[in-house]
């Protein structure tokens, strides 16, 4: 890497790292070498959005929309999903047959790439926001959607399920895409942070209003379902407050009512997303809350939700076919998510039982979970990817630590946990690396590693890891999770807790998190 003072006109990545940029376009040599996102910031003004440029990457194509300098970068598959016909300069009617545009043709995808797609007209939601909408949608399509998964593939539902619907309509889903991008720009452009923050809030309110008006319309159920999901991502990113569970309940109501008419791929995407985050949140709740309803109707609703999500796994071929595979959407297999959920339920059952025979039986169930977790080291992948494999291994090790803490009441200073903690941190350090492309990472394992840090050397490792991920994401729930972990540490320090004392046993982080009202999705 070239040393020296940072470039005034260099890309954002080089300027942030205070390195000289060679200002290569569309990607500088440093970003090309590290695989980092290469973005050249425009002049800071209220019209920054019009000047915002994102480097296109293969296999994305520039799609003209309407007017001068308005475009999107999309994959050919996304283009085909939006419209059943290509429009190009060739007058051959064979080029316009739907069968040839749905994957049945034998020619190269580049053969009939359209020169212009005037059918894709993004009609403005309001005249005052026309100028900013196209770049905001472009930013979601190229940056946000690709960073919501562990590895980018053509199956990325944040792109393939959302972008075509956003282009073909101007309903609540499009408002949420605009809200997400504006929220992130409020973190990236300090000069106009308040402008984009206000813009994000306006789009979010508009999306909520339109969602309420269309909620009972069966034809809008898929878009409404995806809108609930994107609303959840924004709520989680803005602090993991309980509001995101309201959107989960809305999605659950849509699935219950319109499940038969919703595309199975969309249902799987939404169910996988919510089930994973809900189960991870449950690992942060005290046992008394996990096991009792206390007359709270929302708890009952949540139990119905988790039951529905679990039953869907058992009946849908989409889930049965992929239980043992590592999912690029969540960074682990659905099987390990099931096991973590079962461990949480087992810990609640063990806290209730008082008889010796019952506790022996439940202890044997815990040993069965242990064997199942150990057997998962040979998880399968549709294609080899070391990043995804390392992430899955981090979840596997974290599940072993979680089992020992919540079911066996071990101290975080127990030799077996110390060794697992060392292995987990080593695994996380190969996944969370400074300068790597922005993408999803194993947050739950990082959280478990943070809460089970018994010594200052362990805490130092966790601090370094959080600093890396925090620099990679301009907006996410990283700050909320990091605050929760530090609060757990401070609570132990104030109580003069040492690794050898009973205060550091079990899941003491659950009481701390509950007292502060966090609903950590840990994603």
* CATH number of the domain bearing residue 12: 4.10.240.10
283, 418: one domain = yes
- Three-state DSSP class for 449? helix
Q: What is the pLDDT of residue 291?
A: 46
18, 62: one domain = no
34, 70: one domain = no
Q: Per the domain annotation, does 166 fall within a domain?
A: yes
- Three-state DSSP class for 53? strand
Tell me the average pLDDT of the chain: 75
Q: Is pLDDT of 414 > 80? A: yes
Q: Per the domain annotation, does 232 fall within a domain?
A: no
22, 115: one domain = no
Query: How sure is the predictor about 29, in pLDDT bands with cuts at 50, 70 and 90?
Result: confident
133, 207: one domain = yes
Q: Per the domain annotation, does 221 fall within a domain?
A: no
268, 128: one domain = no
- Residue 100 is classified by DSSP as G
Query: How sure is the predictor about 240, in pLDDT bands with cuts at 50, 70 and 90?
Result: low
Q: Per the domain annotation, does 246 fall within a domain?
A: no
274, 199: one domain = no
Among 159, 192, 214, the domain-final residue is 214
Q: What is the pLDDT of residue 521?
A: 85
Number of alpha carbons in the 13 Å side-chain half-sphere of residue 306: 20
Q: Is pLDDT of 87 > 60? A: no
Question: Tens of pLDDT along 296-333?
Answer: 444 445 566 666 655 655 455 544 445 568 888 899 98
186, 288: one domain = no
Q: Where in 33-156 does DSSP place strands (E)?
A: 39-40, 53-54, 60-64, 71-75
Mean pLDDT of 187-215: 88
Contact 38, 26 (CB under 8 A): yes
Q: What is the pLDDT of residue 402?
A: 94
Among 214, 243, 269, the domain-final residue is 214
Q: Is pLDDT of 126 > 80? A: no
4, 56: one domain = no
- Three-state DSSP class for 145? helix
179, 297: one domain = no
Mean pLDDT of 424-430: 94
Q: Is pLDDT of 445 > 90? A: yes
- DSSP code per residue over 211-263: HHHHTT-GGGHHHHHHHHHHHHHHHHHTT--THHHHHHHHHHHHHHHHGGGS-
Q: Per the domain annotation, does 219 fall within a domain?
A: no
Query: How sure is the predictor about 375, in pLDDT bands with cuts at 50, 70 and 90?
Result: confident
Q: Per the domain annotation, does 283 fall within a domain?
A: yes
Q: What is the pLDDT of residue 480?
A: 87
Question: Tens of pLDDT along 475-495?
Answer: 678 888 999 999 989 888 877
Residues in the chain: 523
Q: What is the pLDDT of residue 48?
A: 38
130, 68: one domain = yes
Q: Per the domain annotation, does 243 fall within a domain?
A: no
Higher pLDDT, 63 or 463: 463
Number of domains in the chain: 3
Helix (H) or strand (E) holding 333: strand 332-333
Q: What is the pLDDT of residue 400?
A: 95
Q: Per the domain annotation, does 231 fall within a domain?
A: no
190, 304: one domain = no
Number of alpha carbons in the 13 Å side-chain half-sphere of residue 371: 6
Range of the domain at 257: 252-516
Q: What is the pLDDT of residue 289?
A: 58
């Amino acid at each position: 890497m070239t040393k020296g003072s940072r470039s005034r006109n260099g890309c954002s990545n080089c300027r942030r790292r205070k390195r000289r940029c060679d200002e290569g376009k569309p990607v500088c040599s440093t970003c090309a070498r590290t695989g980092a996102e290469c973005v050249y910031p425009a002049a800071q003004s209220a019209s920054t959005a019009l000047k915002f440029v994102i480097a296109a990457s293969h296999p994305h194509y520039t799609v003209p929309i309407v007017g001068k300098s308005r475009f999107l970068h999309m994959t050919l598959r996304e283009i085909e999903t939006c419209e059943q016909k290509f429009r190009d300069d060739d007058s051959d009617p064979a080029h316009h047959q739907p069968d040839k545009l749905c994957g049945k043709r034998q020619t190269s995808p580049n053969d009939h790439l359209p020169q212009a797609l005037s059918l894709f007209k993004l009609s403005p939601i309001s005249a005052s926001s026309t100028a900013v909408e196209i770049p905001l949608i472009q930013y979601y399509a190229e940056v946000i959607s690709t960073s919501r998964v562990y590895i980018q593939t053509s199956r990325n539902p944040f792109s393939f399920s959302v972008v075509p619907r956003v282009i073909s309509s101007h309903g609540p889903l499009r408002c949420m895409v605009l809200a997400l991008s504006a929220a992130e720009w409020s973190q990236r452009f300090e000069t106009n942070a308040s402008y984009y923050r206000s813009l994000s809030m306006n789009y979010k309110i508009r999306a909520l209003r339109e969602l309420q008006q269309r909620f009972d319309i069966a034809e809008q159920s898929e878009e409404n379902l995806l809108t609930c999901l994107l609303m959840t991502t924004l709520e989680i990113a803005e602090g993991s407050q309980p509001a995101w569970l309201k959107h989960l309940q809305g999605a659950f109501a849509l699935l219950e009512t319109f499940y038969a008419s919703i595309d199975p791929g969309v249902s799987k995407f939404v169910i996988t997303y919510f089930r994973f985050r809900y189960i991870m949140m449950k690992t942060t709740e005290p046992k008394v809350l996990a096991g009792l309803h206390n007359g709270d109707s929302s708890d009952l609703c949540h139990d119905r939700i988790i039951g529905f999500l679990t039953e869907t796994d058992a009946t849908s071929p989409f889930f049965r076919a992929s239980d043992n595979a590592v999912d690029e959407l969540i960074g682990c297999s659905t099987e390990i998510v099931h096991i973590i959920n079962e461990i949480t339920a087992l810990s609640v059952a063990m806290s209730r039982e008082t008889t010796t025979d019952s506790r022996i039986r439940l202890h044997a169930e815990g040993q069965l979970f242990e064997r199942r977790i150990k057997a998962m080291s040979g998880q399968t992948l549709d294609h080899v990817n070391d990043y995804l494999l390392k992430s899955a291994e981090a979840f596997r090790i974290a599940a072993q630590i979680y089992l020992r803490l919540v079911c066996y009441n071990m101290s975080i200073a127990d030799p077996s946990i110390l060794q697992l903690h060392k292995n987990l941190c080593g695994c996380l350090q190969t996944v969370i690396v400074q300068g790597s492309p922005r993408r999803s990472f194993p947050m739950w394992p990082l959280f478990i590693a943070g809460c089970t840090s018994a010594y200052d050397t362990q805490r130092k490792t966790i601090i370094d890891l959080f600093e890396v991920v925090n620099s990679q994401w301009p907006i996410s729930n990283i700050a909320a999770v990091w605050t929760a972990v530090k609060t757990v540490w401070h609570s132990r320090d104030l109580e003069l807790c040492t690794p050898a004392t009973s205060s550091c046993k079990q899941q003491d982080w659950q009481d701390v998190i509950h007292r502060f009202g966090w609903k950590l999705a840990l994603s």
